[in-house]
Chain A
Amino acid sequence: MPVIETNGLYKIYNEDTVPVYAVNNISIQFDPKEFTCVIGPSGSGKSTLLNLIGGLDTPSRGTVTVAGQRIETMSESERIRFRLEHIGFVFQHYNLIPVLTAYENAAFIMQLQARPEEEIRERVTGLLEQVGLGGRFNSRPSELSGGEQQRVAVVRALASKPDFILADEPTANLDTKAAFNLLDMMKQLNEDEGITFLFSTHDQRVIERAGRVVTLVDGALHSDERKS
């Protein structure tokens, strides 16, 4: 059973005047444990597709089924709750909470889920050590490099064991070394944790490591290539 499935998905702006098809009739499935890139030129609809899948935006037409649940029919509050329980987010600009430490940022989602403190400590500590941030628990985001911040963001997204992680251009602000480190780490977590990763990216380094590359052009599905 796919973890994500869209059917006849559209996102149309200015539908009543001059329609702009940001997402144009996309029907696609993503299976568990996939490491997928969504690529395409600027304005091709990558981010819009991810927003629709993540329940941050509502489609003009079509359906989005995530972990067996239709999210386009949910209320906003239900979608927020659903995102909390099922989806991890990694952003281009890391978007850590500046007043919290690395540990607190990484534990933030689990705390919102009201998980037991002991479970949070065990899980977050383990993941931060796994991504090489064992000595930076108490550092604030401003004291971390870009690569370190993005690793904290990945741990934040991953810690609650979501069904999949949506990553919007996660390497765009990283230098080559940091980007490779991050990708290796995510690939490793993908294999170790069995969590599905779905990226939007322009970054060739990400594309090379992806197990599947979905290409969008003008909002429509142009190609869907699985690597062996």
Chain B
Amino acid sequence: MMLFKLAWRNLWRSKRRTWITISSVLFAVLLALFLESMDRGSQEVMVQNVVRYSTGYAQLQDTLYFDEQHIDNAMLCDEDCREKILRDFPDIAYTVPRLESVALAAGEEKTRVAFITGIDFEAEHRFNDIGERLREGDFFTGGEDEVVIGKGLARNLDLKIGDSLVVFGQGFQGAMAAGKFVVVGLVQHPVPDLNERIVFMPLHQAQWLFDAFDRVNHLKLVPHRLRHHQRVVDAINANPDYQALQAYTWEELQPELVQTIEFDQAGTLMFLLILYVVIGFGIFGTVLTMTLEREKEFGVLISVGMQRRKLAQVVFTETLIMNFMGVLLGIAAAIPVLLYFYYNPIPLGEGMEDMMAEYGMEAVLRFSLDPQFFYQQAIIVFGISMAIVAYPVIRVFRLDVLKAARK
């Protein structure tokens, strides 16, 4: 208790210096959190945009499908199967089925390779708001043989609402897949390549086309909390009832996206490292001054019988208190700032809006409030500050008592 009292009082013998040190830690935490929040926010948006129109956060497939993504490896999963999955894994909010295959699609005069996608529109729309991407017509009217196609494909095939689209390809296990459909809607798909190829049709219709009744290529698994996707995947893969199937996370299905994020993180890490170094030297400066100014006092304390270990404890406690206060105040200062930017993202400027909208993205710089990086950054800055305390502690242990006491 006496040592703590001594440390506490020592802190306030030079209030200004103590506050400068605390402020250094505070701003380090604040800036680190700001940068990390901005980085994570943009990554979350990137993941959200990419994942929701492609693989989903987690996906269930036949065990053979991952290596050979062919309709022959589509899995059997009807409505009952989807409901059983929801019962077996309560972390899953709903599932989004898809039956996909490549086929030739022809208008009156032109033919293109198309990506035929059978969807459960309600589930699909719930997951990725695909209905919002509709630019003309309807997303199925309930009639027979209806398709909704990408605007790019419609342009390439000179098709408009009400025109016929002929599809010709290969179905399940070599069956012929051929059909004539009516274009009832045009979508602006946010993925440019898909916009040139996508043909949406109701799931049951695609199953009929490809002769793949009750089959889907994969089921997107949407957890109640998106960040629990790994938990969902682990639970399914550990369940013996699902041995014929395999669940994957989006990280496993989209390694390129993971690499892009890692590259992005590396850039932010460089900024953070520079920040850590600058702040670290700032803190070191004040700790150095504090130490050198008090060497005589240290010498006297050791002379009168204070063990170096105890003196080091006092010095350590002083820095610990300062750093702890700095980190706590830094987090306290960061919370309202990040909350503000979370609810009021920074606009990227008018020029970006149209371009970003084409990709289904908002032209804003989003911030994240993921609690994980709060404590990560706080721990890193705290760790750096505590590493600096090694200097006065070493100094105490190496102090020449006679020289110090004579100062």
Contacts and interface: CB of A to CB of B under 8 A. Distances in A.
Interface string A106-120: 001101110000000
Contacts of B12: 99
B224 interface: no
Contact of A99 (B13, B296, B301, B305): B13
A161 to B, nearest CB: 13
A223 interface: no
B6 A100 contact: yes
A8 interface: no
Interface in B299-327: 300-308, 310
Binding site secondary structure of chain B = helix
Interface residues of B, number: 21
Interface centre among B10, B12, B303, B306 (most CB of A within 10 A): B303
A106 B306 CA distance: 14
B291 to A, nearest CB: 16
A51 B310 CA distance: 22
A54 B306 CA distance: 14
A56 B305 contact: no
Contacts of A98: 13, 297
A99 B306 contact: no
B401 interface: yes
Contacts of B296: 95
Interface in A78-100: 80-81, 83-85, 87, 89, 91, 95, 97-100
B295 to A, nearest CB: 12
Interface string B259-303: 000000000000000000000000000000000000011001111
B402 interface: yes
B402 A56 contact: yes
Contact of B303 (A54, A85, A112): A54
Please tell me the size bucket of the interface on A: 20 to 34
B197 to A, nearest CB: 75
Contacts of A56: 303, 401-402, 405
A84 B13 contact: no
Contact of B305 (A83, A91, A100): A83
B297 A80 contact: no
A98 B304 CA distance: 15
A83 B299 CA distance: 13
Given A97-B297, A98-B13, A112 B6 contact: no
Contacts of B301: 97
A77 interface: yes
Contact of B402 (A51, A84, A99, A109): A51
Given A98-B13, A99-B9, A99-B10, A81 B305 contact: yes
B9 A84 contact: no
B10 A84 contact: no
Nearest to B301: A97
A80 B13 contact: no
A157 B6 CA distance: 19
Nearest to B311: A80
B306 A112 contact: yes
A84 B305 contact: yes
Interface string A55-82: 0110000000000000000000100110
Nearest to A88: B304
Contacts of A113: 305
A84 B2 contact: no
Interface of B: 2, 6, 9-10, 12-13, 296-297, 300-308, 310, 401-402, 405
Given A87-B305, A156-B304, 11 more contacts: A56-B402, A56-B405, A80-B308, A81-B307, A84-B305, A85-B305, A89-B303, A97-B297, A98-B13, A99-B9, A109-B305
Closest 7 CB pairs of A and B: A84-B305, A99-B9, A95-B300, A83-B305, A111-B2, A89-B304, A99-B13
Interface of A: 51, 54, 56-57, 77, 80-81, 83-85, 87, 89, 91, 95, 97-100, 108-109, 111-113, 156-157
25 contacts: A54-B303, A56-B303, A56-B402, A57-B402, A80-B305, A80-B306, A81-B305, A81-B307, A83-B303, A84-B304, A85-B305, A89-B303, A89-B304, A91-B405, A95-B296, A95-B297, A98-B297, A99-B6, A99-B12, A99-B13, A108-B304, A109-B305, A112-B305, A112-B306, A113-B305
